[in-house]
Structure 1
Amino acid sequence: MHLLVVEDDDIVRMLMVEVLDELGYSAIEADSASAALTILQDPQQPLALLMTDVGLPDMRGEELAAKARELRPLLPVLFASGYAENVVVPEGMHMIGKPFGIDQLRDKVVQILGTP
């Protein structure tokens, strides 16, 4: 399963991708919403989940999720935020608070997608 990880902090993104890879998922990286949209617009790129930071420099994560859902209506979305209590999660989407542990990330992704 391919997961699109959108995170502007290089170290955080690298750790998230590494954890997802260890859990058996194939992670595709984007460091901005615009980079993520390029990937989302490619019909040849299969994606099982969009995992995005809420606070991206070029667009809010909620806006990216809305655009992603226009392109791929059934794509599950998982928001990651250090300010999870301040984020209104749209219906049918999910949230994980930063910092999160490997087990928390695994459990959340498995809850959304099932086992890899």
Structure 2
Amino acid sequence: PFFTTKEAGKGTGLGLSQVYGFVRQSNGHVRINSELGEGTTIKIYLPRLIGSDEEPAEMPAKSPVMVRGAGETILVVEDEPDLRAYTTETLRDLGYRVLEAAEGREALEIVERHPEIDLLFTDVVLTGGMNGRALSDEVSRRKPGLPVLFTTGYTSNAIVHHGRLDPGMHLIGKPFTYAELATKVRRMLDRTV
């Protein structure tokens, strides 16, 4: 799922990983056959629904209780400007103070200037020569005990099995919803209190 034809820093092969993750979560599988000069064939197998033709009555969705921040400071590190804007806006709306960086070196400068940071929220795959794991390791040396929440568009299995993160590290998958982000960040901060 990490295959890409793009140069380093120009893309991550995320599309195939997202397809793989969706299919696996749906209890299906993917077959990919590629032959030089012939092209590639992709077959997606999903389980068939066996049951009545009638659609079940839609259950009213339960709206999650929004867990709000109390002014804690979160450093968001995301190289995609639109995702960074969405994340920082969501966290500010939830009552957090947000600092932001587009890449690892910029994030380290912010950590040096702001010892009050309560949580590092970083993408696993970053441009600029330092990935989220390396950033987390360096921040932990400078500020031991700081909780780190990773985010990625890859499935958690793919990201762990390819050595990008260790099992047990805290991860929220992209795309995440407002409610998912609110809940995960609050849980991370509450563990450190």
Give the structure-2-normalised TM-score. Answer: 0.56
Aligned length: 113
C-alpha distance after superposition, 1:57-109 (max 9, x if no partner): 12111010000100001100000100132223446641000000000000100
Map 1:93-108; keep pairs closer than 5 Å.
Answer: 93-108=169-184
Question: Structure 2 unaligned runs (5+)?
Answer: 1-71
The 1-side partners of 2:73 and 2:167 are apart by 23
The 1-side partners of 2:169 and 2:76 are apart by 15
Matching residue of 1:87: 159
Higher helix share: 1
Q: 2:117 aligns with which of 26, 47, 50?
A: 47
The 2-side partners of 1:4 and 1:84 are apart by 23
Q: Could you say which structure has the larger radius of gyration?
A: 2
Give 1:41 shift: 2.0
The 2-side partners of 1:15 and 1:61 are apart by 19
Matching residue of 1:110: 186
- Asked if the contact 1:84/1:96 (under 8 Å) is kept, the reply is no
Matching residue of 1:78: 149
- Asked if the contact 1:52/1:78 (under 8 Å) is kept, the reply is yes
The 2-side partners of 1:92 and 1:110 are apart by 18
Sequence identity (%): 41
- Asked if the contact 1:76/1:93 (under 8 Å) is kept, the reply is no
Matching residue of 1:24: 95
Matching residue of 2:133: 62
Give the structure-1-normalised TM-score. Answer: 0.91
SS, match of residue 127 in structure 2: coil
RMSD between aligned residues: 1.4
The 2-side partners of 1:21 and 1:113 are apart by 15
Question: Structure 1 unaligned runs (5+)?
Answer: none
SS, match of residue 87 in structure 1: helix
